[in-house]
Chains A and B, each alone.
Chain A
Amino acid sequence: MSQAAAIHPVLDPVLAPPFPQAALPVLRNPQLRKNVAHAIDVIQAKRARLVAEKTDWQELRAAASAIRTHALENLGAYLEEFETRCTAAGGTVHWAADADEARRIVLDLLREENASDVIKIKTMTSAEIQLNPHLEAAGVNVFETDLAEIILQLGEEEPSHIVVPALHINRSQVREIFARRMGLKDLSDDPKALTAAARTYLRQKFLSIPTAISGANFLIAETGGVSVVESEGNGRMCLTLPRTMITLAGIEKVLPRFKDLEVMLQVLARSATGERMNPYTSLWTGVTPGDGPQRFHVILLDNGRSSILSKPKQRQTLKCIRCAACMNACPVYRQTGGHAYGSVYPGPIGAILTPQLMEMHHAQSLPFASSLCGACYEVCPVKINIPEVLLELRSQVVNQERKDFGRFVDPMYMGLRIANLLFSRAWLFHTSQLLGRIGLGFFTRKDGWIHSLPSVGSKWTQTRDLRGLPKQTFHGWWAARGPQPSPMPSREAK
């Protein structure tokens, strides 16, 4: 099962194989690794250039972090303020406790509209609740309008990144998908030709489908407004042409004041796409007669977020503004791309967000899918200390293991428990060094190196040698050296 699941990635944390297993097919796929590394190297370089030109970048980060922290600490009040303002402006606010409820609200709204077709702006929140397959199963035809999402939808692929979801697919692969699904045999892989094909495909949807679904980058409590930022303008089409707009947003997306956008839009564009400003920033508040959708619904989705909010050490996870800078900077993500994370939220933020959304019942391998190098924290525009949260989640996973009988046969678990005992007394530690040297001696070759180890050690020696343990430890050498005279500069010539 796991191999099939890994080849056709399952982005459902409940069903996905553990990260180390899910990463294997990707590591063996040169095309995919090249596509991912190339794409994120390009974005990273652009980001680095544009961040460097901001002399007050660290102050901006601090301001963005403070805004998000304040919003979360007063989330209940700001959500109620948003609801009041949005309703006053002619919108309807719905509250969804979980994915199931959110999907039911969307379906009910679509039935009220007699909608058999719906167009969508790119929204990862809808992917989180697996909205598309549920709508399709209920007989609703869903049409993605974001270029990357079209590629994924037509190619029956899964997103591997939250800002550029099709970054694992290169343009010759896009050409193949479009040619096959749009019936364009002579399509070239020239980006202009590809976008023209998408444009033709989309225009007809925009003009004929009166119902749209969007996500939200920000909800503004002060005005009841919603903001979506994007690069292509397809979102703007969805926000202006349809009769009915349904916006799905996580409850954490709220900002207290309109002026907070001044900070957030600066850090978001630079962090996400390496642009000074994103090409399309849409802001709308309720409904305006004669202008844009006349029916407007906002679904505020909890789906595990309140539970995260209630835990002080983990709360910072919800500061995330989905810029993806952390995954672009992550050396693990650079090798694996997004599918290995088994969730629509990959990379470092996914490694902390997904298991928490699953209330630590699934995706327990994800907190360990990091070398703790700290690159994610360094680039995060809202200063989420991702390594700190990773460690907190790791300790929760280990605390689950402590109650599991399987721990007694897990060499890693037992090794660390025993090591703890050995480190508690110097004489125990020194005895274990001696025994370790004798034990490893059986595996040490004449060249003084270990080339192959059993059990958990084989995980090291499958690609790396290990130098055999030296005859004398440092503390042994120190003790043998005995007391020294006070150091004199002349010692070096001895």
Chain B
Amino acid sequence: MRASLFITCYNDTLYPETGRAVVSLLERLGVQLEFHPKQTCCGQMHANTGFRGEAFSQAKRLVRLYQDTETVVIPSSSCVAMIRDQYPGLIEELGNDQLRREFAALLPRVYELSEFLVDRLGVEDVGAYFPHRVTYHASCHGVRALHLGERPYRLLAKVRGLDLAALPNTDRCCGFGGTFSVKNAEVSSAMLAVKLQDVVSTGAEFCTALDNSCLMHLGGAMHRQYAGMKTIHMAQILASTEAMPAEGFL
């Protein structure tokens, strides 16, 4: 199977280890990965901050870039949500018939990582080994936009050595919200404090998620507060094996 990796702008810049883990994981599962060198951003930051005109150009660019790919895999639930929930409106508004057709053809081929593993590849046991206590932050877009449901839990349940700790109030936002975290920094921090309390209460060593944006927020507070926990993208847990433990990526 072939798949094209859309790494997302912030993973490319801030969390390349997540991308390397996705490559390691998917190639291990027999996927032939491609990487479009011209990719940049899906436009989520612009769309969510009210820069609709700018979001138009990102959306147009992404649809054109991936029109010939068999499948697109994205290790970020909020970027997938951007494409699924916001692109239809943006593209409708642009009123370009060809673009509309290209997007309609592309949309069913866009997968978030856990969707790609469970729905497309049909695997839950990816052969991972991660001997740590881990809690899973479901993330707003994962829960309410993509309806990932049990997929992430089923993937984690099959990781050998992993001790999954249930996170209280798991569907509650961590307070990141993109530019919300700086436009409303104090309220965002108050939300973060409440979320971090729940995360720390699990006694886990790692908090994982399918979105590095929430993890950047949580991880930033953990580091500031010497919370004794780390964040790790789920791709890195799933890529981790006895021979090549996740720590090697950090």
Residues of A within 8 A of B (CB): 19-20, 23-24, 27, 33, 331-332, 334-336, 367-375, 377-378, 388, 391, 393-399, 412, 416-417, 419-420, 422-426, 429, 433, 436, 449, 451, 456-457, 459-460, 462-467, 469-470, 472-479, 484, 486-489, 491-493
Identity of the chain A residue whose Cβ is nearest the Cβ of B145 in the assembled complex: A374
Cβ–Cβ contact B192 & A460, under 8 A: no
**Known contacts being A426-B37, A466-B220, A475-B12, is A398 close to B183, with CB within 8 Å?**
no
Cβ–Cβ contact B184 & A423, under 8 A: no
**Known contacts being A429-B9, A456-B182, A463-B189, is A420 close to B46, with CB within 8 Å?**
yes
**Known contacts being A426-B37, A463-B221, A477-B16, is A23 close to B187, with CB within 8 Å?**
yes
Cβ–Cβ contact A394 & B182, under 8 A: no
Q: Which of A20, A388, A491 is in CB contact (< 8 Å) with B184?
A: A20
Chain A nearest CB from B224 CB (Å) reads 5
Cβ–Cβ contact B186 & A23, under 8 A: yes
Q: How large is the interface on B (under 10, 10 to 19, 20 to 34, 35 or more residues)?
A: 35 or more
Cβ–Cβ contact A395 & B50, under 8 A: yes
Q: Does B51 contact A (CB under 8 A)?
A: yes
Identity of the chain A residue whose Cβ is nearest the Cβ of B28 in the assembled complex: A492
Identity of the chain B residue whose Cβ is nearest the Cβ of A21 in the assembled complex: B186
Residues of B within 8 A of A (CB): 7, 9, 11-20, 23, 27-28, 30-33, 35, 37-41, 43, 45-52, 54, 57-58, 61, 86, 89, 127, 140-141, 144-145, 171-173, 175-192, 194, 216-217, 219-221, 223-224, 241, 243-244
Cβ–Cβ contact A423 & B40, under 8 A: yes
Q: Which of B20, B51, B177, B216 is in CB contact (< 8 Å) with A395?
A: B51
Q: Looking at A412, A467, A477, A478, which has the most chain B CB atoms within 10 Å of its CB?
A: A478
Chain A nearest CB from B192 CB (Å) reads 7
Chain A nearest CB from B211 CB (Å) reads 12
Identity of the chain A residue whose Cβ is nearest the Cβ of B78 in the assembled complex: A372
Cβ–Cβ contact A331 & B35, under 8 A: no
B171 to chain A: which residues have CB within 8 Å? Answer: 375
Chain B nearest CB from A442 CB (Å) reads 17
Cβ–Cβ contact B176 & A371, under 8 A: yes
Cβ–Cβ contact B14 & A426, under 8 A: no
How many angstroms from the CA of A393 to the CA of B20 in the assembled complex? 38
Given pairs A423-B41, A487-B30, 15 additional interface contacts (CB within 8 A): A367-B50, A370-B177, A372-B140, A372-B177, A374-B144, A374-B145, A375-B173, A419-B46, A429-B9, A436-B13, A467-B14, A469-B13, A474-B12, A478-B19, A488-B30
